Structure 1
Amino acid sequence: MRSFVALCLRQRWAVVGLALLFVALAVRMLGEARFDAFPEFAPPRVEIQTEAPGLSSAEVEALVTMPLEASLAGTPGITALRSKSVLGLSSILLLFPSGTDLLKARALVQERVTRAAPSLPMVARAPVLLSPLSSTSRILKIGMWSASLSQTELSDLARWKVRPALMSVPGVANVAVWGERRRRLEVRADPDRLVANGIDLSRLVAAARDALSPRPGGLVDLPTTRLPVVQTAMIRDASELRAVPLATLRRGALTIGDVAEVEESYATPIGDALVTKGRGVLLIVEKQPGASTLDVTAGVDAAIERLRPGLADVEIDPTIFRPAGFIRRALDNLGHAMGIGCAFVIAVLFVFLWNARTALISVLAIPLSLLSAAFVLTALGWTIDTMVIAGLVIALGEVVDDAIIDVE
């Protein structure tokens, strides 16, 4: 060690040059570092959700969850299989050992889900594999409310305008909308009017379904070309659906509105959302595994600012839940601790040794040590989280002690 120190003293300008080069390299690499509130502590997992509108929890368990579980139970590599059945929704979670290739695991699960899908009841929709999520997936909760828009109109804005913009941000895995009221047209048949006009319920259901479902119009062959027939008269509101004909009678066309009540409504809500000003819509932004919380949060904030001019009647609050604030506060605390440590080193060395150069050497050793630790963590592909930052703050005391003792 003594000979190494002597060599460094003889080649001091080379040491200074290498230190400056290392600082430049470390600062550049820190720009690519990933920051998160907590480390990835959950094992690789794959979640499958299946919607079954109208089925009770017991029916979902018996008709949807159990057939899928039977097909997924033999998936290679799974360590645990958990399921949850609620009103109209089945959720199955498969856990894999740490280090498992998630893409390969998802491919194996998708293969078995595809095999089991035909055995599900007709009312059940196709099973969906959710996007891969971080163990601490929620990085933002964004509240939306409006004094002039209804809950249904606000839900349409969140679903068709805000959510697609946020999903386009790199690192965002999913944006869930809580308190949503999905618009729909409701047809309530009147049994007396059906009987009076000789129309059965199945005919009414078929007419309403055909009116709301886009269908191909076929082709028209001409001598020199072929023209497609395109349906453009799509149903947009309740009045247009009321005018859809069911049958032709002597007095004229019998429409859906003659035998049923048609009105605009919304699907049965699963839950509700209360934001700052009362009832509204809450957007839950979830990030992908390995994505930097700070980068994803900055991207979401930028997307919201681009949307604001087109949402003049809507209030948006992106500060309800922001783990990025915890991370920035931890980084600020680390900077403050480093500043206090440098000040103490300068005071102790200058007062007791009366040598400005020794104080300068010790002061430079502190940030170089922290940069070295951050450089190694980033080079190894690790995420810098609040626990790592807390460890660096604790280690700062040892760095300060070494800086004083070694120089002395």
Structure 2
Amino acid sequence: EDGTDIYFARQLISSRLHGVKDILPENTESLIGPIATGLGEIFMWSVEREDHSSSKNQKPSSLMELREVQDWIIRPQLFNVPGVTEVNSVGGYVKQYQVAPDPRKMIAFGINFRDLMEALSKNNSNKGAGYIERQGEQYLIRSPGQVKDLKDIRQIVLGSHDGVPIRVKNVAEVKLGKDLRTGAATLNGKETVLGTVFMLKGENSRSVSLHVAEKMKEINKTLPKGIVAKTFYDRTHLVNATLKTVRN
């Protein structure tokens, strides 16, 4: 109903979802959407190459790079803008590091799929190691263990055979791939990568849009050479035009 406290309603829904968690299929997850309304899309942009090359002729790896810029450079920075509740990415390809096991090689080395999965999981995480106290100060200790590239994955040790380490590269092919996608995004007839900012319910759309626009100027300076984020929808223009008709 109109006027219902949104946070109270989300709490009720969250408790209901928790109650049906046990009857959901394995490895499924239920999430509540952002605190926004149907009119919450206030800012949109496309991630493009400055040479204006047609996405029709681009390889999937090129669209993958644009999506990577959107997800890992643009999106995190926009979450720092007051009034922003969600930043969506559409189009392109989500990059994956894919490990394709060879069953014959695994049998030959006595390695099973569980061994492979556990080794990949344990060798791709950061660990905390407590802290050291010195002269009244605490120094936090962290052990960075995430893989950085395909070479790191290939070198992960699964076990040993006659004293010789068995690595992932000995039993599987490691390569770059892309996640299965269910749709694409186009702009002016060309496939591209799009981003959308959702405004937190109750915020002033003009104010939030202005702050997002200013942030986008800063973000463009941090993007890789040859890539730019171009705004094609800004709610500020619509609000200003509406205010102008009222004044006149």
TM-score for both structures, normalised by structure 1? 0.51
The answer to whether residue 202 in structure 2 is matched with residue 298 in structure 1 is: no
Q: Does 1:309 align with 2:229?
A: no
1:46-80 CA-partner distances (Å, limit 9, x unpaired) = xxxxxxxxxxxxxxxxxxxxxxxxxxxxxxxxxxx
CA contact under 8 A between 2:45 and 2:230: conserved in structure 1?
Answer: yes
2:176 corresponds in structure 1 to: 264
Instruction: Give the direction of change, closer, same or farther, for the CA distance of 1:271–1:241 in structure 2 (3 Å limit).
Output: same
Report what 2:40 is aligned to. 137
* CA distance in structure 2 between the aligned counterparts of 1:135 and 1:260, rounded to whole angstroms: 46
SS of the residue corresponding to residue 247 of structure 1 reads: strand
Query: C-alpha separation between the residues in 2 aligned to 1:318 and 1:118?
Result: 43
1:327 equivalent in alignment to 2:230:
no
What root-mean-square deviation, in Å, do the aligned CA atoms of Structure 1 and Structure 2 show?
2.9
**Structure-2 separation of matches of 1:109 and 1:323:** 30
Greater helix share, structure number: 1
Query: How far apart are 1:274 and its partner, in Å?
Result: 1.9
Letter aligned with residue 170 of structure 1: P
In structure 1, runs of 5+ residues without a counterpart are 1-96, 221-226, 339-408
How far residue 314 of structure 1 moved from its aligned partner, in angstroms, is 1.4
Q: Which has the larger radius of gyration?
A: 1
Instruction: Indicate the structure with greater strand content.
Output: 2
Q: C-alpha displacement at 1:269, in angstroms?
A: 2.0
Residues 326-366 of structure 1 deviation map (CA, whole Å, 9 limit, x = unaligned): 3322333344xx4xxxxxxxxxxxxxxxxxxxxxxxxxxxx
Equivalent residues in 2 for 1:117-196, closer than 5 Å: 117-125=21-29, 127-146=30-49, 150-196=62-108
Task: Give distance in 2, aligned partners of 1:307 and 1:172.
Answer: 16
For 1:228 and 1:197, locate their aligned partners in 2 and report how far apart those are by CA, in whole Å.
Answer: 40
- What letter matches 1:134 in structure 2? T
What SS class does the counterpart of residue 129 from structure 1 fall into? coil
| Identity percentage of aligned residues | 22
Q: 1:190 offset after TM fit, Å?
A: 0.7
Task: Output one character per residue of 1:3-22: Cα deviation in whole Å (capped at 9) or x when no partner.
Answer: xxxxxxxxxxxxxxxxxxxx
1:219–1:299 distance in 2 versus 1, CA, 3 Å: closer
Structure 2 counterpart of 1:317, which letter? K
- Higher relative contact order (Cα pairs below 8 Å, separated by 6+ residues): 2
Partner of 1:105: 9
The answer to whether the 8 A contact 1:145-1:275 is kept is no
Distance 2:140 2:201 in 1: 46
Question: CA offsets per residue over residues 104-153 of structure 1, 9 Å max, x none?
Answer: 2122222222333344344123x322222123121122111126983333
* Count of equivalent residues: 233
The list of structure 1 runs, each at least 4 consecutive aligned residues, that deviate by more than 4 angstroms after superposition, is 215-220, 227-230
- Structure 2 residue identity aligned to 1:139: I
**Cα deviation code 1:245-273 (max 9, x no counterpart):** 12212272111111110112232223222
The within-5 A match list for 1:172-251 is: 172-215=84-127, 230-250=142-162
C-alpha distance in structure 2 between counterparts of 1:229 and 1:305, whole Å: 36
